[in-house]
Each structure stands twice: as C-alpha cells, then as structure tokens.
Amino acid sequence: MKSPYSFLITPLNNTRYDNISKYGDKTLIKSTSQEDHTTTNRFGVIQETPVVNFFPSIKKGDIVVLHHNIFRKFYDMKGNEQSGPCHFKDNTYIVDLEQVYLFKHKEKWESVGDYCFIKPIEKKKDILMSLDKHEELQGIVVYGNEGLNSLDVFEGDTVVFTPESEYEFEIDGEVLYRMKTKDICVLI
C-alpha cells in the first residue's frame, strides 16, 4: 500500500500521546487532557514513502518529527471523540511532507526543507530574579538546512531569531525550537 504524494506513518512506540514520565521507579502523568498539544506524540516511523517522493533522503523505517496534531484526538461539536484528518486506519496516518520537520536516518538527524532547529541559550545567572531561563531570541543552530548554509549560517553558529517563531520540541532529551530559514535574522 502506497500513497501517490504522502507518507504512511505510525506513531513511535505505537502511542498517540507522550504524557508519561518516569522518575526512578515512579510514573508521573503530565496531562490527562487529549486537547493538550504539549503531550501529543510528535515522533513517527515511516511505514511507506510516497510514489512521488519529493524528499528521497527519507526512507522506510526512519524516525520523523511531525506536527503536533497528526496523532491527536479531539471532540466534535456533539462531544464524540474523533481522530484528526491524517488518520487512515488502525495505527496508520497519511502525512504530507509539509508536516514533517526532521528525520533520523542511520542515527543522524536531518531537517526537512526550509525547517531548522535551534537550541536556546541558557541565561547567565544575574542578580535579578527572572522566570526566563533562556536568553531572549537567541540560540545555537543544531540542525540547519541548505537555505541557511547558502547564507553562511551553519550548525553550531549562534543566531538571533524573530519573536514568536519558537515552536518547542524535545529531541533526544534536549529542548529545541523548530523554525524556518526566514526566522533567522542575525548571525552573531
């Protein structure tokens, strides 16, 4: 079974939500709400690539980072639980390339298209108490793309990004912001 233009994906670990944390031998449920987008599983496994594969680097079996609504359930106007529009059947989802941000092939993460991932910079301790633990609008390029490279911005570079462009993900235990090339405005 193949789609002409879309990927067939299953959720990583076959779970729609990533709302359970382990602390030693204890289990903590972070959220019980299906509407909470912060706890939806954003990782999937490629089951089939499209017939017309616009991004041939992504292969069957690769792990991908996806939009938060792919696996999410919601309630319709009558209060009935529904799967989102990407749900195909059982645990299979039809996902367009625009909803795939990052993929892992042979233990190496690579960004897709115009997306990049930036690691926020920890704020230096100062005298004033602040709830913000990261430097405002600054970060380090962790996963770049060809567009950034053509602008002489590479992985490891410190950059300034536009306000409200940070979309938070946790990749390999590290908080990263997903952005587009146009969101990077200054190379420091």
Which residue ranges make up each domain of the chain? 7-110, 113-187
> By the 8 A CB rule, do 7 and 99 touch?
no
The fold of the 113-187 domain, in CATH, is 10 Kd Chaperonin, Protein Cpn10; Chain O (2.30.33)
In this predicted structure, what is the pLDDT of residue 14? 83
- Would strands 158-161 and 134-143 be described as parallel, antiparallel, or unpaired? antiparallel
Burial class (CB in 10 A: 0-12, 13-18, 19+), 34: middle
Specify the pTM: 0.84
Per the structure block, which two tokens stand in for 52?
């017309």
pLDDT tens for the 188 residues of the chain, in order: 889 999 999 999 888 767 666 778 887 666 666 666 666 778 999 999 999 988 889 999 999 999 988 988 888 899 898 888 999 999 999 999 999 999 999 899 999 999 999 999 988 766 566 667 778 899 999 999 999 999 999 999 999 999 999 999 999 989 999 999 999 999 99
Contact criterion met (CB below 8 Å) for 173 and 110:
no
14, 38, 47, 56, 74 from 10: Cα distances, Å: 7, 19, 7, 19, 18
**Helix (H) / strand (E) containing 148:** helix 146-150
116/178 Cα distance (integer angstroms) = 6
Contact call for residues 111 and 117 (beta carbons, < 8 A): yes
Q: SS3 of 126, please?
A: coil
The amino acid at residue 129 is: M
